[in-house]
Structure 1
Amino acid sequence: MSQWDESYDLVIIGSGGGSMCAALKAKELGKRALIIEKLDKVGGSTGYSGGVWWLPNNPVMKRHGVEDSYERARQYFDSVVTYEGPSTSVKRRDAFLHMSPLIVDFLERKGMAFEYADGWSDYYDDRPGGEPRGRSLVAKLFDIRELGEWEGRLSRYRGAPIPANSNEFPTLFLLKRTWAGKRKAMQLGWRMLKQKLRGQTVLGGGAAIQGRMLQIALREQLPIWTDSPVEELIVEQGRVVGVTVRQGDRVRRIQAHDAVLINTGGFSHNAEMRKRYQPQPASADWTNANPGDTGEVIEAAMRLGAATDCMDEAWWVVTSLGPGLTFPEGARTPAGEPLPFMHHLDLSLPYSIMVDQDGQRFCNEAGSYMEIGQRMYKRQAETGKAVPSWVVMDSRQREFYPWGTAMPGKVPQQWLDSGYMIKAETLEELSKKCGIDTRGLLTTVQRFNGFCASGKDEDFARGGKAFDRSHGDPTIQPNPNLGAIEKGPFYAVRMYPGDVGTAGGLVTDEYARVLREDGQPISGLYATGNATAGVSGRMYPGAGTSIAASFIFGYIAAAHSAGQDKIW
C-alpha cells in the first residue's frame, strides 16, 4: 500500500468554477475535498473569462418574467447541438438541462449573487425553443478587496480593470450613438469614481464569479493549495487513488479516498498539442485562455487509457494582429505581456465586413464567435486564403464605434505606422495594399451594400436574429447590423482564429466519470470543464455554456463520487 502525506475524500486538480462548486457539494455531503492549483492564482479559466453562465430554465430568469421549461430548453438544445459524439449523449444532455436550475438554487444557498443578463439572447434564438431574452446569468459586481490577503491571488482578466459585466458592453459600445450608451458610460464613470473614493476594486466578469466563489470557499474553510502542480495520477489495482504534487523541491503524495476530479482547463498554451490536434495554422500566441491551459493532466489521463473527443475544437474568438504576427498598441497587459484583442462586439456593428484574401465574405460577422472561427478554418481548408482574413471598414466604423482598445473616432498613429491598420482613400487602393483580390472585394462590397439598403443579408442573414441585433446599432435602419462600405477613407486589419480555450478533451459520462475508448469508466477518475469534450459538442448555444457545464458536472462528480444515487 502507498504511503500518503495527506488524505482527502475528493482531490480536485485545478481551481476553476467547477472545482469550488464540487468542493462545496462535497462538504455538504460530509466529505473532505482539497483543491490543488499549479499557478499562484486561484480561479482558473473561469476567472479569466467574461463571467457568464448559460443555465436554461433557471429561477433567476423566471423572477424576471421569462418562462422556460426543461422541454423547451431541450428542444432548443437539440436543434442547435447537432454533433453526435460521446460527449453529447442523450444522458449527458439530460443531466446538463435537469441540473441547470438546481445549480442556481445550490449556489444561491451558498451565497452567490446572480443577475439576469436580460437581452443577451441565445446565440441561435431563431431555432425551435430559442429564447430572445436569453438564459444567461452573471454574478453581481464584486469588490475583490473583500478577499483580504487572497485579493492578489485571484485569477482575472489581465487587461484594464473595469467595474462592469460583459452584458453591459454592447450598450457601452454605443456611447456615441444612443442615449442608452451615454447613460451607461456615465454610470461606469460614476462607479469608477465611487470605488476610488471608497478604496475598492470592483470588478465584473470572471473576477466577479470567482471572487464570490473564492469568498464562499474561504468562508466554508475549504483547503486550497496554490503553486502546486500535479505530476502524476496514482493508480492502484486499476483505480485512481491519489496524486503526486510538487511544492517547491518537495513532492507530496495525496490520497483520494473517493475520487480525483480533473478541472485543469484545456491546452491552448501547449504548442505541441495544438499542432497535433488543432486545425492549422494555429498559435498559442493568439489565445486569451488561462495561462495554465497547458494540457499535461489531460495527457496523464490519456496515458491511463482515457478517450478523447473534439480535440480539434476551441472556443474561437477571432483576433487581429499586425505584419509578422506582431501585437498592435493596446494589445498588451499593463505589465507589457501580449494580450490579443478579442473581436466579437465590434464585428457585429455596422460599416464593416470580414473577407478572405479573395475578397469573399464567409460568415455572419454578428453571429456566434465560435462559429465565426469554425467558418474561417473551413474556408482556409477549402482555399488556403482565410488565415489571415481581413476586416474592411468604412470610415463611419472608426467614427462611431470602438475597435480593440481604441475609442470611437480614434485611430492610434502606431496602428497606421506599424501596418496593423491599413488606410486608403479607395477600396481599390486598399485591396492592393492588403493583397486582397480587387475584383472580388469590389463585387462583394457592391452586393453587401445592396443588403444594407434592403435590410436583409441574403448570404449569411446578418442581423436576422435577436442575438445579432442585441449587439447592433439601433440607430441604423432597416438593419442594426448592416452599414454600407462606401464612405472613405477605408481601413483594414488582418484577422486570425484566436480563442479563449480549447473545447475538446477527455470523454466523460453523465456522472462526469472519465471513460475509456470502450465506454467503461476509469475507476476513481472524474473530469469537468475545458479538460473535457463539451456537452454542447461543436456548437455554443448561448453565452456561458462552458462555464455552466463546468459547474454542473463538477457538482455531479462530487455527488456521485460520494455515493449519492439520485442527483437530479
Structure 2
Amino acid sequence: MGDIQIDSLAAQYDVAVIGSGAAGLSAAIFAALEGARVLLVERTDFIGGTSALSGGTVWAPGTRTGAQVNAGDSRADVSAFLDSAVGNFGDKAMREAFLDAAPEAIATLEDRTQVAFRPYPKHPDYEWDHPHPTLNGRAIEPVPFDTRAMGRTRDMIRPPIPEFTVLGGMNIDRVDIGHLLNRYKSLPAFLHVAKIVSRYMRDRAVYGRHTRLVMGAALVGRLLASALDLGVDILRGAEVTALSQSGGDVTGITLTCEGQTRQVATPGGVILATGGFGRSKARRAAYLPAALRGESPSAPGHTGTLHDLAEGLGAVYGSGNDQSAFWAPCSIRKRADGSTAVFPHFVLDRSKPGTVCVDLRGRRFVNETISYHAFGKAMLEGGPDTAGAWIITDAPTLAKFGLGMVHPGGENPKPHVEEGYLIEAHSLAELAAKTGTDPDALAASVAQINAAAQLGRDEAWGRGGSPYQCNNGDPSVSPNPTLGPIATAPFYAVRLQPADIGTARGFRSDTAARLLRADGSVIGGLYAVGNDLHSIMGGTYPGPGITLGPGLVFGAIAGRHAAARSREEKGQHRAA
C-alpha cells in the first residue's frame, strides 16, 4: 500500500477520491478511519494541489485549538457573523452543517492522525463591517512538519513557489519572517534565525532540500503522512476518463495512466476533490470576468475534466454567489528558466507603511489594506483603469519590507530592476514616465498618503481602518501601523494584475456533500469537496482559511458518508 503504480491497482476499493489537495486528503483519511479501503487518484506528479502552495490557514470555528486564544467565541456569534457577511450569497444549511461538524473533525485529525494545529495570537477575520468578527480563535494553522521520517516519500509533496522561499529553498512562515526582520535587533530573533538556517543547510547537504515544511505544505505533508499510515493507495499521473453507474448511482471509475487503462469498482462512491475549474479555458471563459488574464498562482491540475463527467450524470453548479472565484492582486516575472512566476500580494507589502497602490493613471482607487480578495474584486470591477495597478514605495520601505518578489530585510534590488520586474526612478516624475501613469495624478496620490501618514488617519480611503487591516501593518508605527511617508528616493514600483487563486463556483450538493441534479434529486455515490463543491461562503471571503476549513470538514463528511455507503452495499450483497 502507499504510492503505487497502475499495475498494482486492486479491482475494487470501497471509496475513490479524485484529487490530493487538503480536501481530498481529508476525505481519504476519514474514509480510511472508518475502515474503508481507499484509492486516492492525482492527475499530476505531486500531492497537495494549491493547498500545498497556500498559507495553510484553516478557518474552523469552535475548535479546542482556537479556544486556547479565544474561549469566549460562541456558535451563535459565528452564525450571526456569517449570516451578515455571506448572507444570501451562500446556502445557510451548508454553513450550519460546516459549523456543526468542524470542532469534531479537527479534533479527530489531531487525535488520530499526524495533523497538528496551533492558534495564532492575532489572526483576525477579514470583514469587520458585520456583527461579531474576532481577532483570533476561528483561524488555526498547521504546526511546521519535519518530513525526515517520511524518507523519499516527502518528494511527492508539491514544491513551494520558489519566490516564497529564501536562500534558494528555505521554507519560512509568518513566525520566521518576524524573526528574520528583527534578527539584528533581538537576541531571541537572531537565535531563531540561526537555528532554522543551520537546519536548512544541513538538510540541503544530506537530503538535497529543506525537510521542514511550513504553512500549506506542512498541512499537506501531515495529511499525506496520515493517509499513508492508514493504508490509502495513491496513484499519481492518472486521469479519470469515465464514471461507472449502476441503477443511477456512481459505482466505479475508469483510469488511464502510463498508457494503460483500468476499471475500478467503488461501491462506496467517488469523491471529487480536483480543485475546481481554474485551469479550464472553456470554463474560465464561461464563468470568470472577461478582464481576467490567464496567469494564476494556483496549482496546474484543476482542469475541470471531472466536471464534464459529473455534468454528464446530471450534476449542476450552484448559483447566487457573489463571485465565481477568489481573487488576489499578483505580480508577474519571467524566471531564468523561462517559466512564469505569479506572486500573490497577500499581506507582506500592501499594508505596510510607506506604500501606496494606484491605478494605471496613477490615482488611488482602493483601500490598500483590505483583504486580497476584496482588493482583486475592486480591480476587476473598477473598469479599464484598474485592470492593472502599481504598488509604489521608496528606498527605506523597500529595504525594510521588500516589495512583491523583492524579499524584505534589505535584498539587493538591482537584479529585479535589471530584469524589468521592479521599476526604479530617482523622482516621482520619472517613476510616472516609466510606469505610464499621469505625473500629476501620481504625485497627488503620494501626497495624499503622506498627509494621511502625518495625520494618522486616511480620510480618503480608510486605510488601516479595522483590526484586520492594522494587524498587517508595522506594530512599531503609531497611531496607524499601515501609514507611513513615501519620501526618500529612489522610488520603486511593481505592476499588479488581478488573478484567481481558486474557484468559488462549484457543484450543488446536500449537507452530506452528495451532488444534486437540477430537480434536487441525489446522484448516489458522487460527492464533491474543496473547490469542486459550491462555496459555502458564496464567493465571499469573510476570514482567513475559508477554503481550507470547509475543505477539511466536508472532506470528513463525505469520506465518512462514502465509507458508510460501502458498508451498507457490502451488507446488502452478503444478505442477498
Q: Does 1:164 align with 2:211?
A: no
8 Å Cα contact 1:61/1:67 also seen in 2? no
**How far did residue 125 of structure 1 move?**
4.3
1:194-235 Cα deviation digits (max 9, x unpaired)? 354475711111221111111111111122221221112223
8 Å Cα contact 2:171/2:214 also seen in 1? yes
2:180 and 2:479 map into 1 onto residues whose CA distance is: 20
2:55 and 2:85 map into 1 onto residues whose CA distance is: 22
SS in 1 for 2:542: coil
Query: Are residues 441 and 520 of structure 1, via their aligned partners in 2, closer, same or farther at CA, if it must alter by over 3 Å?
Result: farther
Q: Which residue of 2 aligns with 1:479?
A: 480
Q: Which residue of 2 aligns with 1:128?
A: 131
2:562 and 2:386 map into 1 onto residues whose CA distance is: 46
**How far did residue 35 of structure 1 move?**
1.1
2:291 and 2:63 map into 1 onto residues whose CA distance is: 40
Query: Are residues 424 and 506 of structure 1, via their aligned partners in 2, closer, same or farther at CA, if it must alter by over 3 Å?
Result: same
SS in 2 for 1:119: coil
8 Å Cα contact 1:164/1:188 also seen in 2? no
Please identify, of 389-398 and 90-99, the stretch whose mean Cα deviation from structure 2 is larger: 389-398
1:76-117 Cα deviation digits (max 9, x unpaired)? 2222213x24xx211101011122211111101213221112
Q: Which residue of 1 aligns with 2:5?
A: none
Query: Are residues 225 and 100 of structure 1, via their aligned partners in 2, closer, same or farther at CA, if it must alter by over 3 Å?
Result: same
1:357-379 Cα deviation digits (max 9, x unpaired)? 23222222222111111111011
**How far did residue 252 of structure 1 move?**
0.9
**How far did residue 147 of structure 1 move?**
1.3
1:28 and 1:156 map into 2 onto residues whose CA distance is: 28
Determine which of 9, 12, 22 is the counterpart of 2:14: 9
Q: Which residue of 2 aligns with 1:265?
A: 275
Q: Which residue of 1 aligns with 2:108?
A: 106
Q: Which residue of 1 aligns with 2:197?
A: 192
8 Å Cα contact 1:274/1:282 also seen in 2? no
Q: Which residue of 2 aligns with 1:499?
A: 500
1:57 and 1:179 map into 2 onto residues whose CA distance is: 37
2:35 and 2:504 map into 1 onto residues whose CA distance is: 33
SS in 1 for 2:14: strand
1:477-511 Cα deviation digits (max 9, x unpaired)? 22110112333332222111133322222222221
Q: Which residue of 1 aligns with 2:414?
A: 413
Q: Which residue of 2 aligns with 1:138?
A: 141
Residue identity (%) = 31
| Structure 1 portions without partners, runs of 5+ | 322-326
**How far did residue 73 of structure 1 move?**
1.3
Query: Are residues 394 and 196 of structure 1, via their aligned partners in 2, closer, same or farther at CA, if it must alter by over 3 Å?
Result: closer
1:482 and 1:173 map into 2 onto residues whose CA distance is: 22
**How far did residue 282 of structure 1 move?**
2.7
**How far did residue 134 of structure 1 move?**
4.3
8 Å Cα contact 1:275/1:282 also seen in 2? no
Report matched runs for 1:471-550 at 5 Å. 471-550=472-551
SS in 1 for 2:124: coil
8 Å Cα contact 2:406/2:413 also seen in 1? no
Report matched runs for 1:288-327 at 5 Å. 288-309=297-318, 313-321=324-332, 327=333
Q: Which residue of 2 aligns with 1:148?
A: 151
1:490-545 Cα deviation digits (max 9, x unpaired)? 22221111333222222222211112233332222110101222111222222211
8 Å Cα contact 2:176/2:193 also seen in 1? no
Report matched runs for 1:61-460 at 5 Å. 61-64=66-69, 66-82=71-87, 84-85=88-89, 88-111=90-113, 112-125=115-128, 127-159=130-162, 160=165, 161-165=169-173, 167-168=174-175, 171-172=178-179, 174-175=181-182, 179=185, 183-184=188-189, 186-197=191-202, 199=206, 201-284=211-294, 286-309=295-318, 313-321=324-332, 327=333, 337-344=339-346, 345-380=348-383, 384-403=384-403, 404-460=405-461
Matched residue type, 2:249: R
**How far did residue 163 of structure 1 move?**
4.2
Q: Does 1:45 align with 2:41?
A: no
1:2-35 Cα deviation digits (max 9, x unpaired)? xx97222221111122222222222333332221
Matched residue type, 1:428: A
Query: Are residues 118 and 59 of structure 1, via their aligned partners in 2, closer, same or farther at CA, if it must alter by over 3 Å?
Result: same
| Structure 2 portions without partners, runs of 5+ | 1-8, 566-576
SS in 2 for 1:268: coil
Q: Which residue of 2 aligns with 1:324?
A: none
8 Å Cα contact 1:8/1:32 also seen in 2? yes
1:311 and 1:36 map into 2 onto residues whose CA distance is: 31
Matched residue type, 1:367: I
2:452 and 2:93 map into 1 onto residues whose CA distance is: 43
SS in 1 for 2:158: coil
8 Å Cα contact 1:278/1:311 also seen in 2? no
Query: Are residues 299 and 252 of structure 1, via their aligned partners in 2, closer, same or farther at CA, if it must alter by over 3 Å?
Result: same
2:262 and 2:367 map into 1 onto residues whose CA distance is: 51
What count of residue pairs does the alignment treat as equivalent? 542
SS in 2 for 1:341: strand
Q: Which residue of 1 aligns with 2:35?
A: 30
Matched residue type, 2:63: N
Query: Are residues 197 and 562 of structure 1, via their aligned partners in 2, closer, same or farther at CA, if it must alter by over 3 Å?
Result: closer
1:77 and 1:368 map into 2 onto residues whose CA distance is: 17
1:79 and 1:362 map into 2 onto residues whose CA distance is: 26
8 Å Cα contact 2:70/2:137 also seen in 1? no
SS in 1 for 2:244: strand
**How far did residue 311 of structure 1 move?**
10
Matched residue type, 2:131: P
Matched residue type, 1:164: I
1:456-495 Cα deviation digits (max 9, x unpaired)? 2223322122212221112222211011233333222211
Matched residue type, 1:9: D
1:417 and 1:367 map into 2 onto residues whose CA distance is: 31
2:86 and 2:193 map into 1 onto residues whose CA distance is: 37
SS in 2 for 1:132: coil
Query: Are residues 65 and 434 of structure 1, via their aligned partners in 2, closer, same or farther at CA, if it must alter by over 3 Å?
Result: closer
**How far did residue 62 of structure 1 move?**
1.4
Please identify, of 311-320 and 501-510, the stretch whose mean Cα deviation from structure 2 is larger: 311-320
Query: Are residues 491 and 193 of structure 1, via their aligned partners in 2, closer, same or farther at CA, if it must alter by over 3 Å?
Result: same
Query: Are residues 234 and 358 of structure 1, via their aligned partners in 2, closer, same or farther at CA, if it must alter by over 3 Å?
Result: same
The runs of at least 4 consecutive aligned structure 1 residues that moved more than 6 Å come to none
**How far did residue 274 of structure 1 move?**
2.0
8 Å Cα contact 1:9/1:31 also seen in 2? yes
Q: TM-score, normalised by structure 1?
A: 0.89
